[in-house]
């Protein structure tokens, strides 16, 4: 699906609605061999945004390939519409890859979004690749704290609907917020994030992408 640059927040909201309706919330993928992490960073002074993608071996978590893209910020800062700032440089970075990822973990939300279409869902639908949203913080919803043990999780609820899971990735550490991006069920999304956090709070995919994007930002 082609990326459409919205000309206004109103047009972006319309596009977001169209994308949300195309999100597949069940497992629809082949065995996962390559798993990618993506992240973005901004230099507001220079009006630049950096998109980074890192591809890992899905078993060993060894970094196999990484790519970045630096572009002008193409959409204004509008709450709820961040994906229209973030997706363009991520698409540019992903297009440079020689290894096509089977699954992409995004540092942000999927359907755990007011319009049920955060960056993870936006990116997944456009690329037709399975995606998971794994946010450091809650965007919306209510939840009961999960138990303190790694792997414990509780429902993230908005308007009496489960929009994600609050997952404890390390014993006694602040949880992360996991949601469906595209072509992945919520149960499978939780399994992958738990698997991708053997030592740290954040998934290895996010850690590697975050390190790369910050290195790139320093060189703008």
Contact by Cβ (8 Å): 196, 205: yes
Q: Which of 153, 159, 154 is nearest to 143 (CA)?
A: 154
- CA–CA gap between residue 163 and residue 113 (Å, rounded): 8
Residue pair 46/203 in contact (Cβ under 8 Å)? The answer is no
27 is in an annotated binding site: no
E strands present in 58-119: 63-72, 103-106
Tell whether 39 is in a known binding site: yes
Q: Are 112 and 165 in contact (CB under 8 A)?
A: no
Binding region for Mg(2+): 39, 107
Binding region: 39, 107
């Amino acid at each position: 699906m082609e990326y459409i640059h919205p000309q206004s927040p109103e047009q972006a909201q319309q596009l977001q609605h169209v994308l949300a309706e195309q999100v597949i919330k069940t497992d629809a993928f082949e065995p996962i061999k390559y798993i990618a992490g993506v992240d973005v960073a901004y230099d507001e002074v220079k009006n630049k945004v950096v998109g980074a993608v890192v591809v890992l071996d899905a078993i060993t978590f060894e970094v196999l390939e990484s790519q970045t893209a630096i572009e002008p910020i193409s959409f204004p800062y509008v709450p709820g519409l961040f994906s229209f700032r973030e997706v363009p440089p991520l698409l540019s970075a992903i297009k440079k890859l020689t290894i096509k990822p089977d699954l992409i973990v995004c540092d942000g939300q999927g359907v755990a979004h007011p319009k049920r279409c955060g960056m993870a869902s936006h990116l997944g639908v456009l690329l037709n690749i399975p995606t998971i949203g794994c946010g450091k913080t809650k965007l919306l919803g209510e939840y009961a704290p999960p138990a303190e043990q790694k792997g414990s999780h509780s429902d993230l609820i908005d308007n009496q609907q489960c929009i994600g899971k609050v997952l404890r990735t390390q014993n006694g550490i602040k949880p992360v917020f996991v949601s469906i991006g595209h072509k992945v069920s919520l149960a499978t999304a939780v399994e992958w994030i738990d698997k991708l956090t053997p030592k740290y709070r954040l998934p290895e995919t996010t850690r590697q992408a975050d390190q790369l994007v910050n290195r790139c930002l320093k060189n703008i």
